[in-house]
């Protein structure tokens, strides 16, 4: 990227636009000076503080407004520091879900906007990472350009791991549960107050996210019992992550809290403090970061994170699976989907025999009754599956072998476990989201990202395509147009030429007026768009230590989109999602 310009280019810009000097915005409490990126033609502000540093007495408290500091102009050109990173249990380091040092003073956001933007719709993006890792590191510039710079993007950071989701009776009494979620909500409120100063329209907000970012949005849509918040109209939820949601003082979060307290040196005698909570508030950040990482990487099951949103009797009042069925939800429209192989890599890849499977089920779902397990084995056809038939390939979803026992990642029992994890954690929450909007006369569109490889997170390269190598450019263009159309025009329908890249051998559903056909998802017509590609050369790629997958490369790759029934898809996903809703209080979800 070209972040500096020559003197002559500055003089030329001065004669025609406002980008001659670094763009400045006065937020009242502070003035930030960003920069103009001439590669993408966008004004960019990074490290804009939206809340006070959550340190000292503000640890585990609700976010507070920034301290007034408008005596000088603050440069906004560098990435904000990452929040403390808290890894996952058992996941190999190669996949990035690792503990690492961060800065508690991390409540910043980045803004991307075209020069002279006026009343443009806004995307607020919440990053994923199990509520525990990553940050505002994704570049939406190409995505904005693909849509003719007709929307503004805001990408936020929020407290992670124990700093955002520590839960216990003591936290409830003395602090704030679900502080990470409340940071996100505070950022949404910031957008309402300030985005017009960047050229955005606060009445046209789309809140988007992937994985735990999308799962967070599910909680915001259900917040305060589903009472209308008016903070956003549209939702983009890519593979919404819904791990077990415990009550704040249940055994599991309490066990993790107690271990965290012990590692922080705040057990029993409080280390000369009046309470355990006061001791934690006074503790050194490095000690707390280490404690958060150790708890999350030593307690749980493969691919799990220790510190997650909890039922707090306030912001989160019911299990999402239950509340979505009652239709108590915020927002007007949702575009929601999942990846074909979302179960990889956050699930143990060694569950490839019946004894290992039985052990996996008893450890992962300890509250299941005998009848629950019997029904589970029936809907996933476990008793009839081979351990491994040795032939891996991506299934079509609507004919032939299904993802129940075959994919490009695995076959037999191992694939059944991958599919089970994908459905209970990602695909079924996506379906419940779509059903909740449909049942309440709101609008929903549903999709599946099936491009090889379609493991969890593989779709990020399609919309954050700067420097991405997968998927191919024509598919990325189409997906960016789909999401851009939803942000700008309130529906995901795009032109046939954008969907096919004008290749005659591409396949898309043909609608009217030169557009693709994409009906809304309804309870009466539960249709989804399957987003895929075909052609090119198929090769195998290995990411150590265990993830082998196919990729399409070279010339000849074309888009292959089709509409299908979301309930009969992959051998009856609707029935399996019905099972997960039935047992949701014992998962819990």
Domain membership flag for residue 290: no
CA separation, residue 493 to residues 155, 332, 507 (Å): 25, 17, 15
Q: If DSSP codes are grouped into helix, strand and coil, which group holds residue 291?
A: helix
Same-domain status, 461 and 401: yes
Same-domain status, 316 and 382: no
Please state whether 315 falls in left (phi above 0), alpha (psi between -120 and 50) or beta: alpha
Same-domain status, 343 and 318: no
Task: Give the span between the Cα atoms of 516 and 511, in whole angstroms.
Answer: 5
* Nearest to 82, CA basis, from 118, 54, 58, 106: 106
- Look-up: residue for tokens 């956050």? 346
Under DSSP, the state recorded for 231 is S
Domain membership flag for residue 541: yes
Same-domain status, 99 and 174: yes
Same-domain status, 371 and 327: no
Same-domain status, 527 and 547: yes
Same-domain status, 543 and 406: yes
| 179-194 and 212-221 helices, crossing angle to 10° | 80
Domain membership flag for residue 52: yes
The structure tokens listed for 54 are 């959550």
CA contacts within 13 A on the Cβ side of 449: 34
Domain boundary at 300, 331, 362, which? 331
Please state whether 307 falls in left (phi above 0), alpha (psi between -120 and 50) or beta: beta
DSSP string, 312-358: -SSSS-S-HHHHHHHT----SEEEEEEETBTTSSSS-TT--SHHHHH
Same-domain status, 439 and 476: yes
CATH, residue 166 = 3.40.50.1820
pLDDT (0 to 100) of residue 548: 87
Q: Please, what is the Cα angle at 501 between 498 and 507, to 5 degrees?
A: 90
The structure tokens listed for 466 are 């700067």
Domain membership flag for residue 266: no
Tens-of-pLDDT digits for all 589 residues of the chain? 333 333 333 333 333 334 446 899 999 999 999 999 999 999 999 999 999 999 999 999 999 999 988 888 999 999 999 999 999 999 989 899 999 999 999 999 999 999 999 999 999 999 999 999 999 999 999 999 999 999 999 999 999 999 999 999 999 999 999 999 999 999 999 999 999 999 999 999 999 999 999 999 999 999 999 987 789 999 999 999 999 999 999 999 999 999 999 999 998 766 678 899 999 999 999 999 999 999 999 999 999 999 999 999 999 999 999 999 998 999 999 999 999 999 999 999 999 999 999 999 999 999 999 999 999 999 999 999 888 888 899 999 998 899 999 999 999 999 999 999 999 999 999 999 999 999 988 999 999 999 999 999 999 999 999 999 999 999 999 999 999 999 999 999 999 999 999 999 999 999 999 999 999 999 999 999 999 999 999 898 888 777 888 899 999 999 999 999 999 999 999 999 999 999 999 999 9
pLDDT (0 to 100) of residue 8: 34
Residue pair 206/200 in contact (Cβ under 8 Å)? The answer is: no
At residue 312, φ and ψ (nearest 5 deg) are -120, 5
Same-domain status, 416 and 451: yes
CA contacts within 13 A on the Cβ side of 502: 0
Domain membership flag for residue 253: no
Domain membership flag for residue 398: yes
Domain membership flag for residue 270: no
Q: Which residues pair with 36 in a beta bridge?
A: 43
Q: What stretches of 426-526 adopt beta strand conformation (E)?
A: 443-449
Domain that holds residue 34: 7-248+309-331
The structure tokens listed for 520 are 């809304």
Same-domain status, 152 and 244: yes
Output the CA torsion sign for 529, 530, 536, 539.
positive
Number of domains the chain is built from = 2
Same-domain status, 438 and 538: yes
The structure tokens listed for 512 are 């009217």
H/E stretch holding 534: strand 527-534
Task: Give the span between the Cα atoms of 325 and 298, in whole angstroms.
Answer: 35
Same-domain status, 233 and 344: no
Domain boundary at 301, 331, 361, which? 331
Q: Which residues pair with 518 in a beta bridge?
A: none
Domain membership flag for residue 274: no
CB atoms under 10 Å from CB of 123, counted, come to: 27
Whole-model pTM?
Answer: 0.95
């Amino acid at each position: 990227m070209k972040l500096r310009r020559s003197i002559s280019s500055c003089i030329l810009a001065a004669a025609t636009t406002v980008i001659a000097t670094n763009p400045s915005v006065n937020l009242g409490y502070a003035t930030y000076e960003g920069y103009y990126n001439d590669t993408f033609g966008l004004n960019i502000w990074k490290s804009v503080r939206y809340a006070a540093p959550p340190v000292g007495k503000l640890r585990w408290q609700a976010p507070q407004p920034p301290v007034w500091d408008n005596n000088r102009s603050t440069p906004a050109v560098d990435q904000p520091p990452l929040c403390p990173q808290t890894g996952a249990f058992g996941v190999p380091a190669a996949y990035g879900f690792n503990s690492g040092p961060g800065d508690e003073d991390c409540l910043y956001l980045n803004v991307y906007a075209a020069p002279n933007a006026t009343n443009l719709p806004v995307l607020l993006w919440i990053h994923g990472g199990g509520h525990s890792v990553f940050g505002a590191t994704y570049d939406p510039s190409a995505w904005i350009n693909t849509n003719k710079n007709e929307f503004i993007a805001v990408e936020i950071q929020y407290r992670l791991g124990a700093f955002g989701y520590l839960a216990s009776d003591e936290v409830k009494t003395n602090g704030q549960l679900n502080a990470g979620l409340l940071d996100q909500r505070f950022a949404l409120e910031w957008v309402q107050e300030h985005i017009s100063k960047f050229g955005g329209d606060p009445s046209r907000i789309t809140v988007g996210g992937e994985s735990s970012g999308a799962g967070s949005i599910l909680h915001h849509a259900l917040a305060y019992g589903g009472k209308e918040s008016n903070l956003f109209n549209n939702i983009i939820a890519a593979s919404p992550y819904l791990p077990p949601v415990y009550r704040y003082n249940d055994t599991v979060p309490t066990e993790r809290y107690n271990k965290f307290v012990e590692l922080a040196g705040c057990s029993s005698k409080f280390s000369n403090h009046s309470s355990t909570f006061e001791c934690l508030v006074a503790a050194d950040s490095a000690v707390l970061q280490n404690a958060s990482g150790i708890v999350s990487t030593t307690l749980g099951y493969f691919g799990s994170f220790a510190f997650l949103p909890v039922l707090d009797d306030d912001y989160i009042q019911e299990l999402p699976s239950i509340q979505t069925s009652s239709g108590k939800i915020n927002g007007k429209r949702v575009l929601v989907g999942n990846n074909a192989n979302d179960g990889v890599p956050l699930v143990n890849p060694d569950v490839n025999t019946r004894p290992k499977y039985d052990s996996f089920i008893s450890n992962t779902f300890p509250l299941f009754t005998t009848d629950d397990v019997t029904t589970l084995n029936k809907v996933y056809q476990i008793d009839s599956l081979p351990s491994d038939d040795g032939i891996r390939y991506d299934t079509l979803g609507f004919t032939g072998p299904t993802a129940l026992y075959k994919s490009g990642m695995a076959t037999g029992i191992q694939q059944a476990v991958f599919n089970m994890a994908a459905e209970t954690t990602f695909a079924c929450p996506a379906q419940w989201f779509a059903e909740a909007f449909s049942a309440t006369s709101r609008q929903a569109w549903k999709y599946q990202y099936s491009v090889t490889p379609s493991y969890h997170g593989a779709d990020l390269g399609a919309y954050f395509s700067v420097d991405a190598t997968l998927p191919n450019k024509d598919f990325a263009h189409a997906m960016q147009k789909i999401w851009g159309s939803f942000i700008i025009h309130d529906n995901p329908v795009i032109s046939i030429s954008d969907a096919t890249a004008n290749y005659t051998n591409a396949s898309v559903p043909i609608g009217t007026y030169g557009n693709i056909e994409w009906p809304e998802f309804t309870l009466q017509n539960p249709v989804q768009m399957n987003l895929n590609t075909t052609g090119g050369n198929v090769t195998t790629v290995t990411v150590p230590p265990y993830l082998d997958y196919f990729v399409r490369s070279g010339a000849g790759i074309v888009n292959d989109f089709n509409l299908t029934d979301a309930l009969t898809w992959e051998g009856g996903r609707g029935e399996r999602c019905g099972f997960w809703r039935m047992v949701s209080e014992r998962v819990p979800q």
